[in-house]
């Protein structure tokens, strides 16, 4: 296998080209990032086009590469291929007409590249579903953190200093469009700034302070856009990092990069339960999720007032990212995702698998991991597939597949046999919402050896008791 990656001015070359190269190189596979609008793609087994609009020159390059035996694949990490969705975004509407026209032409060009390639990679399961609805096949290749990001974040944390009496909440927006998500948390931030004199807000990137926060302008710090190598040092200055997202079609496809970056810097995260953030963050375990002003106010207040909780959530998030999203952790899955997207025969280890299957079981377990994930995600409420789902949960498939299957199980009692599993235990806890579940949750909280399950049980007990008291 020899793999080339190509991006564009509308692409995300670091996360979708440079990081995958590092992942593949860690598996002993030659990988390179190409330059130019339409370089030669020949001589590679696979060529991956990250958000590259189709041009006449690129079409010729693709055709020549395919004649030479190269499998050319598209790659997307945002819903950047739907012109109607992009045109309806507030950020796009407010751009100057020439910029708006240029962007929408690029979006249409990326859509044509997807149609030309017919198969490729995407960053989230939600994107895969969007592509499937358009008749395009895609395999999920998760965003990850590079070795350099890990190293710089460790260095930033070791150098952290500041007044312990001050609590800093930060919002990092590397793109002007990110500012349109800040209003989700704006009222909660105003309440917290009014309530806590020791609180400061740090806006990183091209983000103007909202008018709502002007009364506390002396406690709102603006940090200009910083290079990614500097970002860990800015994040490490924070006590809490927020990732608000408006609930719309574009954001529901977004990945969880903000969570990954903050986790490496050991900063607790509060996020909207939108997109992959809502999947990666387990409320009360490795971060907090908030929907609506009241929930945002409550979540931020708990972190401002409880330094120990901040530290516990941040450490759990960091451990998860180092365990699951480093180049070493993601490399094997990327190799198999490339093979599957190219229509090649799968190896004995499927796209998400961390260990050998053994002999394939009948039914769903005979599917590749990527096909199995699609089968699980396609289930709707009221399905009658609990038996098949439990077969997946008890299998040795990748934790992500087993966890997604557990989320779809209708009868929570069927999951109790796996309460000692770090991933399934968290899913089990979150579906136990009745007063009669309290005794079980208390026992699980006291007996589990997994911090994530214990924190999830504690959070769920708080929810049940609060609903009982109202």
Same domain, 259 and 221: yes
Q: Are 248 and 84 in contact (CB under 8 A)?
A: no
Tens of pLDDT, residue by residue, the chain (470 residues)? 999 999 999 999 999 999 999 999 999 999 999 999 999 999 999 999 999 999 999 999 999 999 999 999 999 999 999 999 999 998 899 889 999 999 999 999 999 999 999 899 999 999 999 999 988 989 999 999 999 999 999 999 999 887 778 999 999 988 888 889 999 999 999 999 999 999 999 999 999 899 999 999 999 999 999 999 999 999 999 999 999 999 999 999 999 999 999 999 999 999 999 999 999 999 988 999 999 999 999 999 999 999 999 999 999 999 999 999 999 999 999 999 999 998 875 443 344 333 333 333 457 887 877 778 878 888 888 888 888 898 888 887 877 788 888 889 988 888 888 888 877 888 888 888 888 888 888 888 888 877 778 888 888 888 888 777 66
Pairing mode, if any, of strands 167-172 and 240-243?
parallel
Same domain? 169 vs 117: no
Q: Are residues 130 and 161 in the same domain?
A: no
Residues 465 and 385 in one domain: yes
C-beta atoms surrounding 407 within 10 Å: 17
Q: What's the chain's Rg over C-alpha atoms?
A: 23
Q: 206 and 136 in one domain?
A: no
- pLDDT value at position 470? 62
CB-facing half-sphere around the CA of 246: CA atoms within 13 A: 14
How far is it, in rounded angstroms, from Cα 28 to Cα 395? 29
Which of 125, 140, 155 is the last residue in one of the domains?
Answer: 140
d(CA 248, CA 84): 13
pTM given for the model: 0.79
**pLDDT at residue 352 in the model:** 39
Rounded Cα distance between 51 and 20, Å, is 15
Q: Which helix (H) or strand (E) holds 6?
A: strand 2-6
Does 338 fall in a domain?
no
Question: Is 428 in the same domain as 443?
Answer: yes
- How many structural domains comprise the chain? 3
Question: Same domain for 240 and 288?
Answer: yes
Does residue 87 fall inside a structural domain? yes
Say if 40 falls within a structural domain.
yes
Count other C-beta atoms under 10 Å from residue 26's C-beta. Answer: 18
Decide if 428 contacts 445 (C-beta within 8 A). no
Give dist(CA 239, CA 135) in Å, integer.
Answer: 44
Taking CA atoms, 348 is separated from 28, 376, 398, 405, in Å, by: 18, 21, 14, 21
Residues 219 and 360 in one domain: no
315: left (phi over 0), alpha (psi -120 to 50) or beta: alpha
Same-domain check for residues 162 and 285: yes
Give the CATH number, domain containing residue 309. 3.40.50.2000
Whether 265 is in a domain gets the answer yes
In a domain, 398, yes or no: yes
List beta partners, residue 287.
283
d(CA 61, CA 314): 46
The CATH number of the domain where 106 resides is what? 3.40.50
Instruction: For residue range 111-161, list pLDDT tens digits in order.
Output: 999 999 989 999 999 999 999 998 898 999 999 999 999 999 999 999 988
Instruction: Indicate if the alpha-carbon torsion angle 355, 361, 367, 373 is positive or negative.
Output: negative
Q: Which of 324, 357, 386 is the last residue of a domain?
A: 324
- As beta bridge partners, residue 139 has 121
Owning domain of residue 136: 2-140
Residues 275 and 407 in one domain: no
DSSP assignment string, 50-110: ESPPP-HHHHHHHHHHHHTT-EEEEEESSSTT-HHHHHTSHHHHTS-HHHHHHHHHHHHHH
Closest CA relative to residue 282, chosen from 184, 169, 463, 427: 427
Residue with tokens 């574009």: 250
Nearest to 137 by CA among 332, 340, 1: 340
Sign of CA dihedral 392, 398, 400, 401: negative
In a domain, 414, yes or no: yes
Residues 134 and 167 in one domain: no
- pLDDT for position 361: 40
Residue 6, token pair as written in the block = 């190509």
Cβ 184 vs Cβ 244: under 8 Å: yes
CA distance 348 to 1: 16
**CA gap 441, 237 in Å, rounded:** 36
Residue 256 falls inside a structural domain: yes
CB 6 within 8 A of CB 47: yes
Q: How far is CA 277 from the centre of its chain?
A: 5
Predicted local distance difference test score (pLDDT) of residue 350: 40
- Tell me the C-alpha distance between 287 and 282, whole Å: 6
Q: Which of 114, 140, 166 is the last residue of a domain?
A: 140
326-371 residue pLDDT tens: 999 999 999 999 999 988 754 433 443 333 333 334 578 878 777 7
The kind and range of the H/E element at 5 are strand 2-6
Residue 278 counted as domain residue? yes
114, 232: one domain: no
Look at residue 343 in the predicted model and tell me its pLDDT: 86
What pLDDT, on the 0 to 100 scale, is given for residue 175?
A: 82
């Amino acid at each position: 296998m020899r793999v080339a990656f190509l991006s564009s001015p509308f692409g995300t070359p670091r996360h979708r080209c440079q990081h995958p190269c590092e992942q593949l190189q860690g598996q002993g596979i030659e990988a390179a990032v190409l330059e130019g609008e339409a370089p030669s793609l020949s001589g590679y087994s696979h060529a991956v086009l990250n958000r590259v609009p189709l041009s006449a020159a690129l079409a010729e390059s693709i055709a020549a590469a395919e004649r030479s035996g190269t499998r050319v694949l598209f790659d997307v990490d945002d819903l950047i291929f739907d012109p109607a969705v992009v045109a309806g975004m507030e950020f796009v509407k407010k751009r100057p007409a020439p910029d708006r026209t240029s962007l929408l032409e690029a979006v249409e060009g990326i859509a044509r590249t997807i149609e030309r390639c017919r198969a490729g990679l995407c960053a989230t399961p939600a994107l895969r579903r969007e592509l499937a609805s358009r008749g395009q096949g895609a395999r999920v290749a998760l965003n990850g953190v590079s070795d350099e990001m890990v190293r710089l974040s460790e260095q930033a944390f070791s150098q952290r200093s500041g007044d312990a009496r001050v609590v800093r909440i930060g919002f990092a927006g590397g793109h002007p469009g990110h500012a349109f998500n800040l209003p989700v948390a704006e009222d909660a931030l105003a309440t917290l700034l009014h309530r806590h004199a020791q609180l400061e807000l740090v806006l990183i990137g091209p983000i103007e302070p909202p008018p709502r926060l002007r009364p506390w302008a002396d406690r709102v710090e603006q940090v200009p856009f910083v290079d990614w190598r500097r970002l860990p040092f800015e994040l490490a200055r924070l006590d809490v990092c927020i990732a608000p997202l408006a609930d719309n079609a574009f954001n529901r496809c977004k990945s969880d990069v903000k969570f990954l970056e903050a986790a490496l810097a050991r900063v607790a995260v509060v996020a909207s339960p939108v997109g992959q953030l809502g999947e990666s963050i387990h409320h009360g375990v490795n971060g907090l999720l908030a929907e609506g002003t009241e929930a945002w106010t409550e979540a931020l207040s708990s972190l401002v007032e409880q330094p120990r909780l901040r530290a516990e959530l941040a450490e759990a998030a960091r451990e998860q990212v180092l365990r699951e999203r480093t180049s070493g952790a993601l490399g094997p899955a990327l190799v198999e995702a490339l093979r599957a997207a190219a229509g090649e025969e799968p190896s004995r280890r499927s796209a998400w698998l961390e260990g050998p299957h053994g002999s394939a079981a009948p039914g769903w377990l005979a599917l590749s991991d990527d096909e199995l994930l699609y089968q699980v995600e396609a289930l709707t409420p009221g399905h009658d597939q609990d038996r098949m789902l439990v077969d997946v949960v008890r299998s040795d498939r990748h934790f992500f597949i087993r966890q997604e299957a557990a989320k779809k199980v209708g009868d929570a009692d069927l999951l109790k046999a796996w309460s000692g599993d770090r991933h399934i235990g968290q899913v089990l806890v979150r579906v136990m919402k009745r007063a009669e579940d309290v005794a079980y949750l208390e026992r699980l909280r006291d007996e589990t050896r997994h911090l994530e399950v214990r924190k999830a049980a504690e959070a769920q007990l708080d929810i049940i008791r609060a609903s009982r008291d109202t």
